[in-house]
Structure 1
């Protein structure tokens, strides 16, 4: 399975330059690489030396580049939605709605990009996929989308199935639903087959995001205080998405002890300015991206100790909020919420204590 790399940082820190250098480095190592851009402007194409299109094109040995076009991708994705619908409904509702007429709504870009990455990941054509997205909280929310959707699915399906209204109408609806659906429907659950399919898909996505051998992020900074502060904020926020940050990269600067200390215990590398079309000094200075597995994991659950440890660097205890208003524990930090699905031995247990220590939120049950 390929490894997906993405780069986070303040605007102007040179994320795209670093992403291109990473793609070239991986290609030089003999890995089959796809560089994926979400920037419809000509800027990235100028850096690459070729206009980007919505179809992968080769620009060198082992290296292909592609642009995620939202309008093209939504057409392709809509056809997938209609195919899924046709598997469950005897008379599909969406057959007369066409992808060519769908407008792009705010927030759709992230879902479109995630689906495109899923398709390229599953194609078997690549060893490394370098995703050059927005590199901010939007990218992190995209990374955490499977986790968020999984929570909405299990939480609201449970709310519906446990309601008196559902218990009352489910038996009455059974004959009508049996006529509409291509699957058996007993009324005991809210269409269990498609729900199970969705849960399986989301579970695989969550496993991929949580595995640094499959998906890893890197922080890009300069020696400017604002870039460093933003980098640390995104480092901590990435943990809420379940994304492992494998290291930090100083662009157009030098590695100092102060910079190294800011991102300890991550490895920190420094790359020089690019001169003309000479990318070699940059690719030589980049880290070994296969070593992302050595970075601290966003979350670890120790059942024997009845303890959950969340790694939240860049935050102090005043910026982290812990609540347990439902069956799961909710952590709020970095303008993001994460609901923790506890394993069966801890499920339903109340929090008995919590402390913030050395960048870790440690929760006891």
Structure 2
């Protein structure tokens, strides 16, 4: 199945290789084919608004015909996520404990990983609910390390919640035997955990379905991007997330002349051969180095044509 036929496309890669440009071009290509498309940036250093020369926030904004975009702000999402947890807990603990609960939640808000958990929660909402309003989601992720953590969270959070549910169920059974003559007791926290487990499972099933979801990595024909991409694909394979397509960006065009560029081209061919050898199972889309920055819609359209011609 072609990359442009997937309902959800994740675009990852090392910082500075042209990841946001590629994601934006893919989204534009999708919208030009008549599909209502949502471009989502999860990268804290958002570039989407700069590419389309529009202010883009946490709600979908129209940036072109059939194309909306949004930029997920980790701080805002963390605040919203902690508030939702606070709201759930408020109905399950004694009012006298809420002060301590609030203190713990405020501490959790600043803890490592809180923004990724919140980002993941938002991503699940987009995949499960927002997707119903669009034909395609194109997701521009943060640089590689963040991408790995984000995409591995369905598996990790699923295992974590399963453990919590087992412990909670055992505690409820013991409590029921001791104080309620074996009668089952209501446990709102258990129900909340069960609901979240179901959402994680649905999101994971969608991410693992190659008919629905595709993964693209962007790299340049240079040593570090090749090495980083190799590590990323190895890690993602461990979670059954398989990258099918590589976009090799900023390759010197054949008509670039001069002795300096001729020498550079020899150097570049070494890494193009290495990419072919290292990633034999991935489709490779070669994008030539552009003579200008991708700074407006017309230049982005030209860039997207290169993707279309190669896909």
**TM-score, normalisation: structure 2:** 0.74
Residue 10 of structure 2 aligns to a residue whose secondary structure is strand
State the match for 2:30 in structure 1.
26
Q: Contact 2:48–2:71 (CA<8 Å) still a contact in 1? A: no
Q: 2: distance between equivalents of 1:92 and 1:24?
A: 53
State the match for 1:204 in structure 2.
202
Is residue 136 from structure 1 mapped to residue 136 from structure 2 by the alignment?
A: no
1:235 pairs with 230, 233, 236, which one?
233
Residue 74 of structure 1 aligns to a residue whose secondary structure is helix
Alignment of 1:159-174 (within 5 A): 171-172=177-178, 174=180
1:112 pairs with 107, 112, 118, which one?
118
After TM superposition, give the deviation of residue 42 of structure 1 in Å. 6.4
Is residue 266 from structure 1 mapped to residue 270 from structure 2 by the alignment?
A: no
After TM superposition, give the deviation of residue 52 of structure 1 in Å. 2.3
Q: Contact 1:35–1:65 (CA<8 Å) still a contact in 2? A: yes
**TM-score, normalisation: structure 1:** 0.64
* Number of aligned residue pairs: 279
2:300 pairs with 254, 273, 279, which one?
279
Q: Which piece of structure 1 moves more, 41-50 or 231-240?
A: 41-50
Q: 1:42 to 1:84 in 2, by over 3 A?
A: closer
State the match for 1:56 in structure 2.
60
Q: 1:237 to 1:74 in 2, by over 3 A?
A: same
State the match for 1:253 in structure 2.
251
Name the structure with the higher strand share: 1
Q: Contact 2:208–2:241 (CA<8 Å) still a contact in 1? A: yes
State the match for 2:17 in structure 1.
13
After TM superposition, give the deviation of residue 57 of structure 1 in Å. 1.0
Root-mean-square deviation (Å)? 3.8
Name the structure with the higher helix share: 2
State the match for 2:157 in structure 1.
149
Q: Contact 1:33–1:64 (CA<8 Å) still a contact in 2? A: yes
Q: Contact 2:40–2:138 (CA<8 Å) still a contact in 1? A: yes
After TM superposition, give the deviation of residue 79 of structure 1 in Å. 4.7
| Higher normalized contact order (CA 8 Å, seq sep 6+, divided by chain length) | 2
Q: 1:215 to 1:225 in 2, by over 3 A?
A: same
Residue 271 of structure 1 aligns to a residue whose secondary structure is strand
